[in-house]
Chains A and B, each alone.
Chain A
Amino acid sequence: MRFLRQLGRTCLLVLLVAAGTLALVRYAPGYFSDPREMDAEHAATIRAEIDARRETDSSSRAMAVRIVQGWLHGQLGTSRQYQVPVGELIRPRLGVTARLVAGGLAFGWLAAVALAVPLSMRLNSAGEAAIAAGSALLLAIPVGALATIFLLTNTGGPTLTLGLLLAARDFKFVYRLLRAQWREPHLLFARAQGMTVKQIVYHSLLRPLSPQLASLATMSFVMALSLAVPAEVLFDLPGIGQLAWGAAMNRDLPLLLAVTLLMATAVGLSGLVCPPALTLQEKLEPA
């Protein structure tokens, strides 16, 4: 029942995002402009195309109906830039982005948990300050700068870039959660009773924290999708992020709209697997 309610909420959210995105795209001041207009050779053709679009998209309701009908028939529209169906552009790139995001998430989570478990158990205040400074430094590096430095020094790829930035963000939250947990009386008692660290970590630390960690995983997923864009662009990786960037640069709004909705659906579905991320955010931020 709870799952069905959550599924219904997810569908409603995706519908809301679809309606909002459509409105945003249709009423954007640059909707009826195209960078190809600047090319004198094709300017006349492009202007004719824009005029035709102005006719067909004059009513936002008609535009919405046309787009939804297309989606129901499995067509995501036609890319303005490439003049091919959007689905054909997205399909081969899904795997590239999925591999990048999965690799980055795996690296980030393994690094964050592997560092946070021992450090949260042993650190004194000086160590905590050092950890805070290190984490602040990693969090302060923009993804573009890190990717460029990796490219220039030939030391890392997109997965490492994504993984490191996710590790810095996840570590901060995981460390804070574990630090509070280690101070719980039942854990102090378990340690005093001679339970091994391995047993405590598995039975009394990670398992009880699994709902919070699952929520954090959803937040990491959303973050990874955002970070994938600059990583793919800078490393010239033909994924969904690079496609979205190309669409944004060339004002290919049908393509951008489809990619954005795809992302909203992915985030919605990840929220179904894990409890809502906000529960954790609300728990952490007022503190």
Chain B
Amino acid sequence: MQRLALTLLLLLALSALFLGLRPHASYSAQDREQAAAGASALHPAGTDALGRDRLTRVAVAALLGLTGAVSAATLTTVIAAGVGVLAALGPSFLEGPLLLLCDAFLALPWLFLLMMVRSGMPLGTAPLLSAAATFFILALLGWPACARAVHAGAARMRCADWMTQGRAGGLRTTQLMQWHVLPRLGSLLSPQFLISVPAFLMAEANLGTLGLGVTEPLPSWGSMLLELDHSAVMGGSLWIYLPVVSLVGTLVLLELLVTEEARA
């Protein structure tokens, strides 16, 4: 099941890459004659209310979403690993404050924190910068839960026999970390990374639905969901559901990947 989900995800990413970067494909070019049109040879998935090619926009949104979520998940996992290991195995006076910091982040509902940070951006933020800022903010706010899990895992190692043996054998803390602790934490960090990717995609989609995600004309799954609001005036074209179907499909595949990894 995991291999199938991974294969389908790779296929999806490759198709998005091919469709989004094909020659003459533009996510922002407007075809004024074909606004809110159904499928045609020129626009295989129709156009949006501004006459922009929906297939290209969905492909670019998928590329942007996957790249952003994977990058943010990598950053958040690195931060979480650093904070979690430092709290568990670093100087003892750091443990309390670091865990308190994690709890302070966790004491706020995510979306409120995201809305607050996102609304603090300057008014004229460029679209690409808004995308980078959105995923960067997600990464900066997403690490505490993962850090708590890493801390719990690393704290169990603190009293392990092999750790005592390593210390008694004269290994320095950095050597212990590099050779023993981090490789063992890999089995914990990998599901945490996989959990973060769909969580960030979902968070971006929710922010986008509220109009606080990636700014126009750059397409994102979140901002494209807003199109559903206009479905009543779009002549009943089913292609309007393409963004939501592609997003849900990707999230289901990622969720299956996470479930299988956790089971493994």
- Residues of chain A having any CB pair with chain B under 8 Å: 9, 12-14, 16-17, 20-21, 24-25, 28-31, 33, 35, 37-38, 129, 132-133, 136-137, 139-145, 148-149, 152, 222-223, 225-227, 229-230, 233-234, 244-245, 247-249, 251, 253, 256-257, 259-260, 263-264, 267-268, 271, 276-278, 281-282, 285-287
CB distance from A91 to the nearest CB of B (A): 18
B41 proximal to A (CB < 8 A): no
Closest to A139 in B: B255
- Return the chain B residue nearest A38 by Cβ: B123
> Considering the complex, which residues of chain B in the window 114-169 have a beta carbon less than 8 Å from any beta carbon of chain A?
115-123, 145, 148-149, 152-153
- Chain B residues with CB under 8 Å of A29's CB are 120-122
Determine whether the beta carbon of A140 is less than 8 Å from that of B116: no
Contact between A145 and B228, CB atoms less than 8 A apart: yes
CB distance from B123 to the nearest CB of A (A): 5
- Apart from A140-B255, A230-B209, A248-B119: 14 A-B pairs, beta carbons within 8 A: A13-B107, A17-B104, A17-B107, A24-B117, A139-B251, A142-B209, A144-B205, A145-B205, A226-B112, A233-B210, A256-B119, A260-B112, A263-B109, A263-B112
Tell me whether chain A's interface is mostly helix, strand or loop, or mixed. helix
How far does the alpha carbon of A249 sit from the alpha carbon of B222 in the complex, in Å?
A: 16
Asked whether, in the complex, the Cβ of B255 is within 8 Å of the Cβ of A267, the reply is: no
A14: which B residues are within 8 A, CB to CB? 107
Report how many residues on chain B are interfacial, defined by Cβ distance under 8 Å.
56
Q: Which of A38, A152, A229, A285 has the most CB of B within 10 A?
A: A285
CA distance A31 to B121 in the complex (A): 8
How far apart are the CA atoms of A285 and B149 in the complex, in Å? 7
- 23 example contacts (A-B, Cβ-Cβ < 8 A) are as follows A9-B103, A13-B104, A16-B101, A24-B120, A37-B123, A136-B252, A139-B251, A140-B248, A140-B251, A142-B222, A144-B206, A144-B222, A145-B244, A148-B228, A152-B228, A229-B210, A230-B210, A245-B115, A248-B115, A248-B119, A256-B115, A285-B195, A286-B188
A151 to chain B, nearest CB (A): 9
